[in-house]
Amino acid sequence: MSFAIANPQSLDTATPAVLLEVRDVAKRFGAREVLKSISLNIAPGEFLTLLGESGSGKTTLLRLIAGFEQPTAGEIWMSGERLDALPPYKRRVNTVFQNYALFPHLSVRDNVAYGLRVKSTPASEIGGRVDHALRMVKMEEFADSRPSKLSGGQQQRVALARALVNRPQLLLLDEPLSALDANLRKQMQGELKTLQRELGITFLFVTHDQDEAMALSDRIALLRGGALEQVASGREIYAHPTTAYTAQFIGQTNLLRAEVRDGVAVCGALQWPAEGESGAAVFSLRPEAIQLASAGISIPGTVHFRAAMQQQFYSGASELLEVTCAGGQLLRVRVPAQGPLFGEHDFVFAAADAIRVQE
Amino acid sequence: MSPSTPTRRSRLLTIYAALVFAFIYLPIVILILYSFNRDGVGGFPPRHFTFEWYRQLFADGPIWDSVLNSLIVAAGSVVLSLTLGLLAALALDRANFPGKALFRRLVLLPLILPGIITGLSLLMFAVVSGVQLSLFTVFLGHGTALISVATTELFAGLQKMDRAQEEASLDLGATPWQTFWRVTLPNLKLSLIAAGLLIFTLSMDEIAVTFFLIGRDNTLPLEIWGRLRRGITPEINAVSTLIFAVSVGLIVIWYRVRTRGLGADAQELLERP
């Protein structure tokens, strides 16, 4: 902040520092438009996740930043330098590949030293930096092994060390955990997050797993069909999805197709106060926003309704109910574990929890 | 199914297999046996064991000159065809250019063409361009005709290679040239060895192309062929036995490199000093 005071010009530029700037980038492969005019900024030290289904263009965007593909239109800038004009080996960006892409003919140590050697780093410096990188990922005892002798998780760590030893400004991770089994995955998620916080290196992480995205990221950029659907923190994106797609992709939700008239939304038997313009509208209502209620008690700003039990899915601490209300509308409700429920029950939700989303 | 069926069938199969093997290998066995027979190739069975023919063989200057010629030609052909074959395989694997499909077929053509056509056309080319026939023309003939073998083998190696490794190399700051030497070539090492061994063996016993391109100095197969016209001597059996032993050795190595090749064990085995 002392920098800002010493330099009065920066006082009125309220935007935070930007490490990577993607400007109107589009990419086509022949007739197929994989990315449509993407604009995205990444701040230094940020953990940003590109989240999307397969075919959404997230890996393509990563490959454009790494330099393996050229954008059809638009520009990519990093630290005030035009990045997309540089070949991959001149970018201060390193990648952890989906299947690690370790060099099978080199030992773990030589794999990690590779980036330093090709850039003619003095030999005296290489040894220390490689050892340090291997220690960081707890792989120093495997330094002389071949990659083929290592388990998936160990290969993953070597791939991380091989990238980080070059001290990149930006680390790209292409679904790095997708080849690991569930337990190892959770553990590696924790290690990745810790490593990122300690090193302060900017991470751009690609995944199709929304839980992973929520657990790790400072911000999530949700891609859909080659366009950005929403860019926000995990909490923000979950609490305030802007589109029906986002609401459904991140977590579970009930999509209520309602008619808004005179500040009231009507969806079958349900009614709640809603702002915004009149006409057809879609609302997202998270299952956990709906609670079981005792009949007769009404608090202002809440919506009461009666619904019949259809299904009950028990999952330990909570259970998911599928209920139908008077208009036939099917709703999913997540409640603390209750024991078996039958027949009709009273439910309640806060009107403010019904979030109006774009179709 | 009666219990006797599988055994009877397997016994028939054994006999059949034995006959096939006999048909293929009996002549070679006889050739080897007679190289140790004092009375030469006449008379059956061979009676008196001797190393005499081997002694004569080792004292025979022209044979060893021709062996040396063959080795020089084979070694040169390996280098020439691997270099050109690697470039062709890289082009087929990576580049897109007009006429690629045609190029692919043309490169493989010498594999299918009868040697006599290749030899004759190369001879005509040498005559038209005024090149004196010598071991050099034989080397050019073998080296170019065997490009097809190198290309197929190396192309298969490139196809098996994980392209992400080359991307990883570029990503880590290596130039395309560094990437080729440090990642692509080491990955192709087994294909290069396998192709090299195969080309070496093929060049060593090539006759058809050699026949048209040979100058004054004979290669080993032509030397043998020339002598056979004056009658079979057990010395020929002796040299053939040696060639057989070396060829089997090379083929065993080639086979091991190819089959176990992709495992890390074989790689370590080959890298051990």
Chain B residues with beta carbon closer than 8 angstroms to that of A88: 167, 170-171
Model ipTM over 0.95:
no
In this predicted structure, the answer to whether residue B5 has a pLDDT above a threshold of 70 is no
What percentage of chain B reaches a pLDDT higher than 70? 90
- Whether residues A114 and A18 share a domain: the answer is yes
For the segment B1-14, the average pLDDT, to the nearest whole number, is: 70
- Among the candidates A241, A260, A275, a domain finishes at A241
Bridge pairing between strands A219-224 and A47-51: parallel
Chain B residues with beta carbon closer than 8 angstroms to that of A68: 167, 170-171
- pLDDT at position B260: 60
pLDDT digits 0-9 by tens, B65-84: 898 999 999 999 999 999 99
CB B60 within 8 A of CB B126: no
**Which residues, 6+ apart, have CB-to-CB distance to B27 below 8 Å?**
none
For the segment B34-63, the average pLDDT, to the nearest whole number, is: 79
- pLDDT at position A296: 65
For the segment B246-270, the average pLDDT, to the nearest whole number, is: 66
- Whether residues A162 and A41 share a domain: the answer is yes
- pLDDT at position B150: 93
Using CA atoms, how far residue A216 sits from A46, A153, A186, A356, B159, in Å, is 11, 18, 11, 27, 37
> Which residue's entry shows tokens 């060895």?
B193
- pLDDT at position B59: 84
CB A329 within 8 A of CB A271: no
Chain B residues with beta carbon closer than 8 angstroms to that of A148: 264
For the segment B36-52, the average pLDDT, to the nearest whole number, is: 75
Q: Whole-angstrom Cα distance, residue B144 to residue B148?
A: 8
Query: What are the per-10-residue average pLDDT scores of chain A (359 residues)?
Result: 39 64 93 93 95 92 94 93 93 92 94 94 93 91 92 91 93 89 86 90 94 93 94 94 93 91 87 87 93 76 89 91 88 90 90 90
Neighbouring-strand partners of residue A282: A257, A357
pLDDT digits 0-9 by tens, B221-231: 888 888 888 77
CATH of the domain at B211: 1.10.3720.10
> Is A309 within a domain?
yes
> Is B78 within a domain?
yes
Tell which of B171, B191, B271, B272 to mutate to test the A interface (max A CBs under 10 Å).
B171
Angle at A44 between CA A38 and CA A47, to 5 degrees: 70
Q: A16 or B23, which is more confident?
A: B23
Q: Give me the half-sphere count of Cα atoms (radius 13 Å) on the Cβ side of residue A93.
A: 30
> Is B79 within a domain?
yes
- pLDDT at position B248: 86
- Whether residues A211 and A165 share a domain: the answer is yes
Please tell me the total count of domains within chain B.
1
- Whether residues A309 and A205 share a domain: the answer is no
> Is B95 within a domain?
yes
Q: Helix (H, G, I), strand (E, B), or coil: what is residue A50?
A: strand
Please tell me the total count of domains within chain A.
2
Angle at B97 between CA B93 and CA B99, to 5 degrees: 105
Q: Is A155 on the interface with B (CB under 8 A)?
A: no
Burial class (CB in 10 A: 0-12, 13-18, 19+), B259: exposed
B173 closest CB neighbour out of A104, A118, A146: A118
- pLDDT at position B81: 95
Chain A residues with beta carbon closer than 8 angstroms to that of B189: 105
- Whether residues A274 and A307 share a domain: the answer is yes
Quickly count helices (H) and strands (E) in chain B. 14, 0
> Is A165 within a domain?
yes
In this predicted structure, the answer to whether residue B272 has a pLDDT above a threshold of 80 is no
> Is A54 within a domain?
yes
Say if the Cβ atoms of A101 and B168 lie within 8 Å.
yes
Scored b (16 or more CB within 10 A) or e, B102-136 reads eeeeebbebeeeebeebbbebbeebeeeeeeeebe
Q: Which domain holds residue A303?
A: 252-357
The H-or-E segment that residue B40 falls in is none
> Is B213 within a domain?
yes
Q: Whole-angstrom Cα distance, residue A76 to residue A251?
A: 32
> Is B85 within a domain?
yes
Q: Whole-angstrom Cα distance, residue A42 to residue B124?
A: 67
- pLDDT at position A146: 93
Q: Whole-angstrom Cα distance, residue A322 to residue B193?
A: 65
Closest CA to B136 of B55, B16, B199, B217: B217
Q: Which domain holds residue B175?
A: 61-221
> Is A246 within a domain?
no
Say if the Cβ atoms of A105 and B189 lie within 8 Å.
yes
Q: Whole-angstrom Cα distance, residue A254 to residue A303?
A: 15
> Which residue's entry shows tokens 């086979």?
B255
Q: How far is CA A105 from the centre of its chain?
A: 35
Q: Whole-angstrom Cα distance, residue B131 to residue B179?
A: 39
Closest CA to B240 of B108, B47, B67: B67
**Which residues, 6+ apart, have CB-to-CB distance to B35 below 8 Å?**
B53, B54, B234, B237, B238, B240, B241
- Whether residues A44 and A184 share a domain: the answer is yes
CA distance B89 to chain A (A): 21
For the segment B152-175, the average pLDDT, to the nearest whole number, is: 92
> Is A247 within a domain?
no
**Which residues, 6+ apart, have CB-to-CB distance to A340 below 8 Å?**
A312
Q: Helix (H, G, I), strand (E, B), or coil: what is residue B89?
A: helix
- Whether residues A206 and A300 share a domain: the answer is no
For the segment B93-110, the average pLDDT, to the nearest whole number, is: 86
Say if the Cβ atoms of A89 and B170 lie within 8 Å.
yes
> Is A138 within a domain?
yes
Q: How confident is the model at residue B207 (pLDDT cuts 50, 70, 90)?
A: confident
> Is B98 within a domain?
yes
CB A323 within 8 A of CB A288: no
- Whether residues A19 and A138 share a domain: the answer is yes
- Whether residues A81 and A225 share a domain: the answer is yes
In this predicted structure, the answer to whether residue B214 has a pLDDT above a threshold of 90 is no
Q: Whole-angstrom Cα distance, residue B71 to residue B242?
A: 14
> Is A118 within a domain?
yes
Q: How confident is the model at residue B238 (pLDDT cuts 50, 70, 90)?
A: confident
Chain A residues with beta carbon closer than 8 angstroms to that of B182: 114, 118
B147-160 and B135-145 helices cross at what angle (nearest 10)?
A: 40
- Whether residues A137 and A271 share a domain: the answer is no
- Whether residues A69 and A196 share a domain: the answer is yes
- Whether residues A168 and A224 share a domain: the answer is yes
A146 closest CB neighbour out of B173, B175, B264: B264
> Is A215 within a domain?
yes
Chain B residues with beta carbon closer than 8 angstroms to that of A89: 170-176
Q: Helix (H, G, I), strand (E, B), or coil: what is residue A177?
A: coil
Q: Whole-angstrom Cα distance, residue A71 to residue A65?
A: 9
For the segment B13-39, the average pLDDT, to the nearest whole number, is: 88
Q: Dihedral (C-alpha) A27, A33, A36, A38: value to the nearest 10 degrees?
A: -40
CATH of the domain at A318: 2.40.50.140
> Which residue's entry shows tokens 């980038």?
A25
> Is B80 within a domain?
yes
> Which residue's entry shows tokens 């790095």?
A176
- pLDDT at position B228: 83
Q: What is the pTM of this model?
A: 0.79
Long-range (24+ apart) CB contacts under 8 A made by A66-70 are: A66/A91, A66/A93, A66/A95, A66/A172, A66/B167, A66/B171, A67/A91, A67/A93, A67/B170, A67/B171, A68/B167, A68/B170, A68/B171, A69/A27
Long-range (24+ apart) CB contacts under 8 A made by B88-93 are: B88/B147, B88/B150, B88/B151, B88/B155, B89/B150, B89/B151, B89/B154, B89/B155, B89/B157, B89/B158, B90/B158, B92/B151, B92/B155, B93/B155, B93/B158, B93/B159
Q: How confident is the model at residue B233 (pLDDT cuts 50, 70, 90)?
A: confident
- Among the candidates A206, A241, A276, a domain finishes at A241
> Is B272 within a domain?
no
Q: How many CB atoms lie under 10 A from the CB of residue A259?
A: 12
CATH of the domain at A124: 3.40.50.300
Edge-to-edge strand ranges of the sheet holding A318-325: A290-293, A344-350, A302-315, A318-325, A330-336
Angle at B245 between CA B242 and CA B251, to 5 degrees: 140
Token duo for residue A132: 């340090």
In this predicted structure, the answer to whether residue B103 has a pLDDT above a threshold of 50 is yes
CB A56 within 8 A of CB A245: no
Using CA atoms, how far residue B241 sits from B71, B223, B224, B246, in Å, is 17, 15, 13, 9
